[in-house]
Structure 1
Amino acid sequence: MNAVDFRVLAVVPCFNEQAAIATVVDEINRVKRRHGLNLDVLVVNDQSTDDSLAIIQTLECLYLNLPVNLGIGGAMHAGYKYAFRQGYDIAVQIDGDGQHPAGELLKILEPIFADKADVVIGSRFLERTGFQSTYVRRLGIRYFRWLNQLLIGTSIHDSTSGFRAFNRRTICITNSYYPDEYPEPESIVQFGLHKLRILEVPVVMRERQGGTSSITMVKSIYYMFKVTMATLFVYIRLQNKQRTHGIITDCHSDT
């Protein structure tokens, strides 16, 4: 199959990203036209309190305006549900803050086009180029790499990366359940227990172009503790489900 044969949905979560959201959508659309991709952009406005929604409504994109603030996990879950119900073959997350250059998009799409992976994660740390995040956050990422290795036997260098692409099989799984609040490290365990093929590819990221990160220095220790507990919960929940009912990893119906 050629790239044009795949229906791709770029899901852009947005919370108070008025400074960057127009540029993000414009960059994605330019890449779409340049490479002839069969791609739509869906911006999920997570009850922004700035002018994000007014800007989104002027852009060349689809959008969902959530009735309440759900956080990054809830916003992405809404996007994956939309992708599942509308029959998209691939869903790719590109954050609304400008950290994920659309020019790197094909790097995470091509392994799925070639059926080499079910989940592709864009990693800052495989080649260590571009923005590398703060020292404290890098320590946390190393810890989650160790935790993933312990729980599912898979070592992910950039487990908090939100620049990732899912094939239809993975969209089916995320349609049913996707972790909320800080989903990236937790979902890796979810995908590992579903026996999905997870692949990291090197990408170059930028510093956020607008908005404010949800993870601050003060919150870092609490974040690691909370995500560890949530990750263990996902692990135990899915292990129990597998023992009692088995884990369904394929969807043959969109109902």
Structure 2
Amino acid sequence: MSEEKERVLLIIPAYNEEESIASTINSIRHFIQNTQLDFRLDYIVVNDGSRDRTVDIVKEMNVDLINLRTNLGLTGGFGAGMKYAQRHHYDFAIQFDADGQHLPEYIPAMVNAGKEGYNLVVGSRFVDKKRPKSLRMLGNTMISTAIKITTGQTINDPTSGMRLFDKRAIAFYVGAPNMAPEPETVSYLIRKKFKVKEVQVSMQDRVAGESYLNLRRSIEYMTRVAISILVLQPFRK
């Protein structure tokens, strides 16, 4: 009797992504149909109170959907997806953007790292490639330095939103208070003795729409996260 394949769930939080959600879903479907995988890959969209046609498009495409009636933010949306992953006994869950920035061809490498025993796998832009010099990347460097100081481990791309959680990390994420899909969680899991690894990926620009994080907000966000890791997290149980 052949061994049962591991089950992987892509969690796709979506808020007002009517311009990109169809192309994102189609890219995943094309990848599954044209790639020989040694694991089962499922996907679910978590609609985070969108006010546009995101829900209608997802339903028209017959995609599994968690429909949150009000906007809870990325933390609430991704948290709902993680609860679904735990409830349905998935071996791995992957945070995957609805805006087209994340590319499905890097999923197998992340799953392979999970199979090797890593609890959290970060799809990193800067394992084999150098981080470009810019104000936005300065914040990324600042967070990376804060994680290195507090945990001793180097994470080259802590702001990457493409992350894989194994079954143990899923259970911890769902059960622990104040968990969020942010760099603080990467740092926190390292401190809790979870094994974390980065896998080289490439990302593309948003398919459509505009990111909430403009330059000013990005700098403010990076500064807040770095301070949180350095000052607040050491007191977190």
Q: Same fold (TM over 0.5)?
A: yes
Equivalent in the alignment of 1:201: 199
Alignment of 1:70-219 (within 5 A): 70-113=72-115, 115-128=116-129, 135-177=134-176, 179-180=179-180, 183-219=181-217
> 158-167 vs 226-235, which deviates more?
226-235
Equivalent in the alignment of 1:6: 6
Equivalent in the alignment of 1:35: 36
SS in structure 2 opposite 1:8? strand
CA deviations on 1:102-124 (whole Å, 9 max, x unpaired) are 122112111112x2311111111
Unaligned runs of 5+ in 2: none
Pairing 1:44–2:46 present: yes
CA deviations on 1:130-157 (whole Å, 9 max, x unpaired) are xx78822211110000000011111100
1:175 maps to a residue whose letter is: V
Equivalent in the alignment of 2:235: 236
d(CA) in 1 for partners of 2:216, 2:168? 38
Distance 1:75 1:81, change over 3 A: same
**Does structure 2 retain, via aligned residues, the 8 Å contact 1:190–1:235?**
no
d(CA) in 1 for partners of 2:60, 2:3? 28
**Does structure 2 retain, via aligned residues, the 8 Å contact 1:16–1:50?**
yes
Paired residue total: 232
**Does structure 2 retain, via aligned residues, the 8 Å contact 1:45–1:66?**
yes
Pairing 1:22–2:2 present: no
Distance 1:133 1:206, change over 3 A: farther
1:159 maps to a residue whose letter is: P
% identity of equivalent residues: 32
Distance 1:194 1:76, change over 3 A: same
Equivalent in the alignment of 2:223: 225
Shift of 1:86: 1.3
CA deviations on 1:212-255 (whole Å, 9 max, x unpaired) are 212111213321332234434344112xxxxxxxxxxxxxxxxx
1:215 maps to a residue whose letter is: L
Aligned Cα RMSD in Å?
A: 2.1
Shift of 1:24: 1.2
SS in structure 1 opposite 2:42? strand
**Does structure 1 retain, via aligned residues, the 8 Å contact 2:135–2:219?**
no
Distance 1:40 1:133, change over 3 A: farther
SS in structure 1 opposite 2:236? helix
d(CA) in 1 for partners of 2:72, 2:133? 26
**Does structure 1 retain, via aligned residues, the 8 Å contact 2:139–2:223?**
no
1:155 maps to a residue whose letter is: T
**Does structure 2 retain, via aligned residues, the 8 Å contact 1:46–1:66?**
yes
CA deviations on 1:8-29 (whole Å, 9 max, x unpaired) are 1110111111111111112222
**Does structure 2 retain, via aligned residues, the 8 Å contact 1:120–1:166?**
yes
Equivalent in the alignment of 2:70: 68
d(CA) in 2 for partners of 1:217, 1:14? 22
d(CA) in 2 for partners of 1:142, 1:118? 23
